[in-house]
Amino acid sequence: MDCDFNINVDKAKFYYSLDEKEWIQLGPEFQMVYYTDHFMGIRFAIYNYATKASGGYVDVDFFECNRK
């Protein structure tokens, strides 16, 4: 994830890598939207989105989150 939390920007980009060297953007840039009168944060998750049948799983061997 690459997030820009600056005022009036609030955009995120998601990436994946198979070798931790080449990173490929996953989908378009995401406009983060806050639904409350005060900041509560955007929630990120790793999940399975089944497109052909119900069920499935996600096998995550590595996850890293860095703050800039």
- Is residue 42 within 8 Å of residue 12, measured between CB atoms? yes
Digit-coded pLDDT (tens) for 4-56: 878 788 888 988 888 889 999 988 998 887 666 655 556 666 767 778 888 77
Q: What are phi and psi of 14, to 5 degrees?
A: -115, 140
Spans of all domains in the chain: 1-55
The per-residue pLDDT for 34 is 67
Q: How far is CA 61 from CA 13, 18, 43, 58, 67, in A?
A: 21, 11, 21, 10, 21
Q: What is the pTM of this model?
A: 0.51
Which of 64, 12, 17, 20 has the alpha carbon at shortest distance from 43?
12
- Is residue 4 within 8 Å of residue 11, measured between CB atoms? yes
The per-residue pLDDT for 36 is 63
The per-residue pLDDT for 62 is 76
- pLDDT of residue 60 exceeding 90, the answer is no
